[in-house]
Structure 1
Amino acid sequence: MNAVLPAGTIATRLAALAESPEDRWSITFLDSHGAVFERCGAAELAARAARVAGFLERESAPGAPVLLVFQPCVDFLVAFLACQWSGRLAVPINPPRRHRLIQRLQAVATDSGAAIALTGGGVAEQSALWQADSPELAAIRWQDVGDIDSDPAQATPLRAVDPTATCFIQYTSGSTALPKGVEVSHANLMADMARMEEAWGLSPASTMVTWLPAFHDLGLIFGLLQTLYSGCPVVQMAPNSFLQRPLLWLEAISRFRGTHTAAPSFAYDLCARRIPPEARAGLDLASLVMAMNAAEPIDPQVMEDFITAFGPHGFRRETFAPAYGLAESTLAVTASPVGVAPRLFPLDAAALEAGRIAEAGAASRRHLIPGSGAPLPDVAVAIVDPETGRRQPPDRVGEIWLGGPTIAGGYWRRPEESAATFGVRVADEDEPTGYLRTGDLGALIDGELCVTGRIKDLIILSGANHYPQDIERVAQGAHPALRAGGGAAFGLVGEAGGEQVVLVQELERTQRRTDPAPLFGAISAAVWQTLELQLSRIVLVEPGAVLRTSSGKIQRAANRQAWREGALPVIAEWRSARQEALDAAREPQPAAPARALAMEAPALEHWLRDWLAGRLALPASAVPVDRGVGELGLTSLDAVDLAGALGTHLGRALPQTLAFDHPTIAAMVAHLTGVPPASPAQASPSIPAPPPGAGGDLEELLSLIEGGARGHD
């Protein structure tokens, strides 16, 4: 794996662009209505970065980690590049929404050892509240870049750095309180961007359009830094702007003649389902050269639906570019070439379940696997038996191991975990640099990497990563009848309606005859309110029934299999209302919500019931006012839509946390009208408010990779 690495760093690329008379790079940031909010060229960006770098030179040592805590804005890019300009380690992290996720910010601050946090986009005002709640955050110096990037006298020259030195630390993006930081070097970053430029035809004539969160590797590297590397302009909007109105993304592509963009599968699904035909009329997507489909399992039907919806508006099948990657490999591992339609492989489902690759016959059960492209140049892919460490035959599924110049140096200050994941040797082979273990299962089929599953237990829903242990912990804390440490949460991939989450939970021995209904309500409400996650099924089982290893570790895959086979001693089982509808094979029939009188409680209750019935494909009679909306089947994306639709209906802005903070129709009506519920006795069981820092975040929903586990497939 002797690769030629590009010279310089991303900071030297910026400096060169700033001095070039032919430079056409710029960043244009759009507001929530699609209007231009800010535009910045390379010369201005370099000048601002140099001034902030001067502050870092005075206040920190070379190589020191610096937290970057920003709402979406150009200032984030200024701060990131200031770290590169001065030889500091950027540590991007999304800010907590109100008090949500403050524990994660604390964990990253503590693990990284950062003594300085740069902020912008309105975060400075919020940081005072975080510091008041957290001694760890209070010990950090918080600095708004808007106060230090305008004085030319503060600028510092570009610092020379060792290309092998760490450039930034990419922290894992799941909901765990113990995130891991991936050490990405300058050489790693430049090597990956060089390969992406070649694979996807980026040049100064290109235009990137992105809404992906900049604290995440796909949004940061491909959405922003790649444009500096390739010298092409970028149009950026906030993730929330896309979620509230997906049309804005496609309108920006049309308006700015975007050539390159990227999103996870759920985003293409949102566009196909939520943008009505009449709203598509003015779109022209013919300028797109590639639209990366990455960061969560690729759904062939979603691609087909998007092509059907937007093909008449210039989107070509060959524009889709499925890809696979992960933070431990900087970003990209494979790429589908420009101008070639995505490849789909019809495989024998029974063989695949047994770990074999076989083409589906006429009479066999078929499973359609999308390809994720071919490995990038100098990227070695080995398919390995995860138990023996030996390379698998071509017709067998195995763990995906990776090698090459884009593999990161390890996990920040975690030598044991680094040794278990990085530099691992294939048994009976002599590879001096070793491989990265991804935790993903797959196979190479005709030169194309196909990802078939995951070894690790990570659950991905709508692009968001969820650790099963977090789900289990929250559920077990919801009611004293539930045995602590006696649960197994797992995802079901490929099910109708998308990936589902099932919780198998033991009861305490003295509670086996307890009425299960209050337990189901408490569990579903707690998980929804704390993690913003909808459970599809809850399975209560006998004490000791959850399968464990000899050392006592929960075997989630084995519990999933046992549940599927009916081998668990089930006491009671619950399904969400949406799951009941899916199981009954009902086709979703969204209903147009009736126009209600704005602030009258009965009319508002009627509007909410109708809206939820339409979204969840349920009869209105199945939407009680006292039942949690998460329990009914509302997803995080649906909750964002609900806040937007209701705000439009009422003619006022509503927080996107409305359905999480007031999780029943009755609670929402009472909050919005000031009228208490007519029948307090019917209120849902009281669930303690989540502690500060508990739960997900809207932008956490868009965290597209889980470092250490899952990549862009």
Structure 2
Amino acid sequence: MSPVLPTGTVATRLAALAESPDARWSITFLDSSGAVAERCGAAELAARAARVAGFLERASTPGAPVLLVFQPCVDFLVAFLACQWSGRLAVPINPPRRHRLIQRLQAVAVDSGAALALTGGGVAEQSTLWQADSAELAALRWQDVGDLDAQDIAPAPLREVDPSATCFIQYTSGSTALPKGVEVSHANLMADMARMEAAWGLSPASTMVTWLPAFHDLGLIFGLLQTLYSGCPVVQMAPNSFLQRPLLWLEAISRFGGTHTAAPSFAYDLCARRIPAEARAGLDLSSLVMAMNAAEPIDPQVMEDFIAAFAPHGFRRETFAPAYGLAESTLAVTASPTGAAPRLFSLDAAALEQGRIVEAGASARTTLIPGCGAPLEDVRVAIVDPETKRRQPADRVGEIWLGGPTIARGYWRRPEESAATFGVRIEGEDDPTGYLRTGDLGAMIGDELCVTGRIKDLIILSGSNHYPQDIERVAQAAHPALRAGGGAAFGLIGEAGGEQVVLVQELERTQRRTDPAPLFSAISASVWQMLELQLSRIVLVEPGAVLRTSSGKIQRAANRQAWRAGELPVIAEWRSARQERLDAASDTARAAAHAPATPLAVPALERWIRDWLAGRLGLPVSAVAVDRGLGELGFTSIDAVDLAGALGTHLGRALPQTLAFDHPTVNALVAYLTGQPQVMPAQASPSIPAPPPGAGGDLEELLSMIEGGGRGEQ
């Protein structure tokens, strides 16, 4: 049965809830200890939104974009709904966690054309610093929503809007140099929420529990706005609270009787690995109807590990609901139904590498591919050859093309890019509306969509998105021996230890005989400090060796294939310490990679940090040199959060979560924590020039769990 076509907007839904005495909707925000920090009902939320809308009526014009720059708090939802209430275009964007990482915020401000920024959750003080460093940010009018309570502002009446008009602009994650804003209309949003409600059984009796960041589509639409559409309460916590203590998420589900939740695959992995058996006592997850697994490639083993860990506490296999979607389609595209276990397909790996879907035989090398569910009502999925633009046979992999009422209007103020992505026609078919090109590869197996890879070069690690051109730019700026424009960064999906990131980089002709060790150290330290990303391998090659198209564009997929086949003229190759361990574990013929070194007399703090790092990374303590970059060791963003928490507990003081990024060696950490002067080798902390105007690195942070410019869910 088709879902009832929705009318109105999310603001009219709020207004109706506010007037209903029987409405269950409320938002409960939990602090970092799990205690209730704030609770707001529908009537109060509507009154607050109308008041902020009154300010917007005075400070901007209808249809104007408004930046929403908030730390996690209820005021973000107030500001978003105030934009809907007054007919303004909300532009959610995450505040930089570190002052120097403001390029993405600056780029979005410029691209959106916003003249006004609403803030909250403690952002106002930070914004003063950003404005001092950026003329573009200083040109904005900044308004802390919390300060409006003290002003005499009349609430605005609910403004009628055209359903086909743009509702908000969802900026895709990734490259700060070229941010793209997806224009989502009111009709898109309401249609997608109607379909999600029908697919996953949401109702006023449901309870949503979410920690997902609200500035991306999954956290915003499914985690918050869907609850207003369906009239059910929502319990929210900050992403940092989950990252520091994953148990808080599951405790909130138990405590509030959560029925619906969503997270990327890595979050379920964190829970299975980091919540000890004794800490699980008392958990009751039996209330869950569905736990969406989305936002990054789904790992079947992670699902198995989570089920094994939490089945004794009421979690059922049928609760997992893999899904696929993207911002360009508002949010959801496919959905695994509630009450049915996720489907896994065992395919012939050799055939899959050739783009064919063949069920694995008893002796075949197999690849286990999870299904992402069936298309939502009225959503059209076509599997198309990306080169010929012809529909593929049922047993072939192709690019996933989408059609239907949830497809967004296009990219904000980017007509050429919109035309290349939206409304594209399948060759030989007469379709009046066309399709959205996703850039993802997949196949339909029966009625189930299976995602097999990406045409685009986006790299996803721990839910964070990284564009290869940003990795290449930062690496090449780390040392003058590295040729600008002569690098190719790419991910290796499905490897032991998760997706790995490899950088193939040309040397300048005069530097081919230079010692590679300082280059490796400089590259890994720069990428770690600037992008919060660990490189698994760095491959230095001869000048001109990186493969390009005839027009000079880097062919990253071709470089990945050539490197794997041993066809590149390699000068030197480096692996992180963690990668060395993973390689050694998977190759039984390789001898032990590290021999214990003679113990050094080190201060107690230095010894504690080295022991912690060694235990965390599975390395001998001797491999954790005090002047070796943490990125070189294979340290990840999640490791950094854990180190800050563990070290803070050890020292009995609060430490910033960016500690390891700002002080990226053991020596640097000890110097910072003890207040001593720091002496580091030049190559361990390279000088990184500021990007040119309009450019910038990929500053997408760990909190950017959702891939906005492509795969919203996989």
The reply on whether 1:205 has 2:205 as its aligned counterpart is yes
Contact 2:75–2:121 under 8 Å retained in 1: yes
Partner of 1:114: 114
Partner of 2:167: 167
Contact 1:628–1:684 under 8 Å retained in 2: no
After TM superposition, the structure 1 = structure 2 runs for residues 184-583 of structure 1, keeping only pairs within 5 Å, are 184-583=184-583
Deviation at 1:705, TM superposition (A): 3.5
CA distance in 2, matches of 1:229, 1:700: 29
Partner of 1:687: 686
Contact 1:601–1:669 under 8 Å retained in 2: no
Q: Counterpart of 1:42 in structure 2: which amino acid?
A: A
Contact 2:321–2:335 under 8 Å retained in 1: yes
Deviation at 1:176, TM superposition (A): 2.7
Q: Counterpart of 1:119 in structure 2: which amino acid?
A: T
CA distance in 1, matches of 2:468, 2:153: 51
Contact 1:262–1:291 under 8 Å retained in 2: yes
Q: Counterpart of 2:98 in structure 1: which amino acid?
A: R
Q: Deviation per CA, 1:134-172, whole angstroms, max 9, x where unpaired?
A: 111111111111122466851011000000000000001
The 3-state SS of whatever aligns with 1:148 is helix
Partner of 1:618: 619
Q: How many pairs were matched up?
A: 697
Contact 1:3–1:378 under 8 Å retained in 2: no
In structure 2, relative to structure 1, the CA distance for the partners of 1:152 and 1:378 (3 Å cut) is farther
In structure 2, relative to structure 1, the CA distance for the partners of 1:547 and 1:188 (3 Å cut) is same
Deviation at 1:133, TM superposition (A): 1.1
Contact 1:439–1:456 under 8 Å retained in 2: yes
Partner of 1:8: 8
Deviation at 1:621, TM superposition (A): 1.0
Q: Counterpart of 2:345 in structure 1: which amino acid?
A: F
CA distance in 1, matches of 2:9, 2:178: 30
Partner of 1:653: 654
Q: Counterpart of 2:422 in structure 1: which amino acid?
A: F
In structure 2, relative to structure 1, the CA distance for the partners of 1:683 and 1:667 (3 Å cut) is farther
Deviation at 1:177, TM superposition (A): 2.1
Deviation at 1:702, TM superposition (A): 2.9
Partner of 1:597: none
Deviation at 1:220, TM superposition (A): 0.2
Deviation at 1:694, TM superposition (A): 6.4
CA distance in 2, matches of 1:520, 1:119: 40
Q: Counterpart of 2:498 in structure 1: which amino acid?
A: G
Q: Deviation per CA, 1:39-69, whole angstroms, max 9, x where unpaired?
A: 0000000000000001111111110100000
Partner of 1:636: 637
Q: Deviation per CA, 1:236-256, whole angstroms, max 9, x where unpaired?
A: 000000000001000100000
Partner of 1:594: none
CA distance in 2, matches of 1:87, 1:558: 47
CA distance in 2, matches of 1:682, 1:387: 49
Deviation at 1:26, TM superposition (A): 0.3
Partner of 2:77: 77
CA distance in 2, matches of 1:253, 1:401: 36
Identity %: 86
The 3-state SS of whatever aligns with 2:540 is strand
Deviation at 1:337, TM superposition (A): 0.2
Partner of 1:669: 670
Contact 2:648–2:654 under 8 Å retained in 1: yes
Deviation at 1:696, TM superposition (A): 6.6
In structure 2, relative to structure 1, the CA distance for the partners of 1:696 and 1:673 (3 Å cut) is farther
Instruction: Give the TM-score of the pair, scaled to structure 1.
Output: 0.96
CA distance in 2, matches of 1:355, 1:117: 47
Q: Deviation per CA, 1:530-564, whole angstroms, max 9, x where unpaired?
A: 11100000000111100000001000000000000
The 3-state SS of whatever aligns with 1:585 is helix
After TM superposition, the structure 1 = structure 2 runs for residues 134-153 of structure 1, keeping only pairs within 5 Å, are 134-149=134-149
CA distance in 1, matches of 2:259, 2:338: 11
Deviation at 1:683, TM superposition (A): 7.3
CA distance in 2, matches of 1:3, 1:675: 65
Instruction: Give the TM-score of the pair, scaled to structure 2.
Output: 0.96
Range with bigger deviation, 207-216 or 92-101? 92-101
CA distance in 1, matches of 2:709, 2:101: 20
Q: Counterpart of 2:465 in structure 1: which amino acid?
A: N
Deviation at 1:601, TM superposition (A): 7.0
CA distance in 1, matches of 2:386, 2:704: 27
Contact 1:327–1:705 under 8 Å retained in 2: no
Deviation at 1:676, TM superposition (A): 4.0
Contact 1:601–1:673 under 8 Å retained in 2: no
In structure 2, relative to structure 1, the CA distance for the partners of 1:464 and 1:106 (3 Å cut) is same
Contact 1:29–1:38 under 8 Å retained in 2: yes
Q: Deviation per CA, 1:175-217, whole angstroms, max 9, x where unpaired?
A: 4322100000000000000000000000000000000000010
Aligned residues: CA RMSD: 1.7
Contact 2:333–2:376 under 8 Å retained in 1: yes
Partner of 2:89: 89
Partner of 2:36: 36
The 3-state SS of whatever aligns with 2:603 is helix
CA distance in 2, matches of 1:254, 1:415: 47
Deviation at 1:101, TM superposition (A): 3.0
The 3-state SS of whatever aligns with 1:383 is strand
CA distance in 1, matches of 2:429, 2:98: 52
The 3-state SS of whatever aligns with 1:460 is strand
Range with bigger deviation, 682-691 or 211-220? 682-691
CA distance in 1, matches of 2:188, 2:576: 45
CA distance in 2, matches of 1:128, 1:239: 24
Deviation at 1:606, TM superposition (A): 0.7
CA distance in 2, matches of 1:32, 1:601: 34
The 3-state SS of whatever aligns with 2:308 is helix
Contact 1:438–1:708 under 8 Å retained in 2: no
The 3-state SS of whatever aligns with 2:409 is coil
CA distance in 2, matches of 1:442, 1:140: 43
Contact 1:337–1:373 under 8 Å retained in 2: yes
Partner of 1:584: 584
Q: Deviation per CA, 1:218-266, whole angstroms, max 9, x where unpaired?
A: 0000000000000000000000000000010001000001000000000
The 3-state SS of whatever aligns with 2:78 is helix
Q: Deviation per CA, 1:546-595, whole angstroms, max 9, x where unpaired?
A: 000000100000000000000001011000000000000079xxxxxxxx
The 3-state SS of whatever aligns with 1:702 is coil
The 3-state SS of whatever aligns with 1:167 is strand
For structure 1, which runs of at least 5 residues remain unmatched after alignment?
A: 588-599
CA distance in 1, matches of 2:238, 2:210: 9
Q: Deviation per CA, 1:80-130, whole angstroms, max 9, x where unpaired?
A: 000000000000000112314311111111111111111100111111111
Contact 1:176–1:467 under 8 Å retained in 2: no
Contact 1:120–1:144 under 8 Å retained in 2: yes
Partner of 2:590: none
Q: Deviation per CA, 1:289-312, whole angstroms, max 9, x where unpaired?
A: 000000000000000000011111
Contact 2:627–2:684 under 8 Å retained in 1: no
CA distance in 2, matches of 1:153, 1:565: 67
The 3-state SS of whatever aligns with 2:34 is coil
Partner of 2:591: none
Partner of 1:602: 603
Partner of 2:592: none
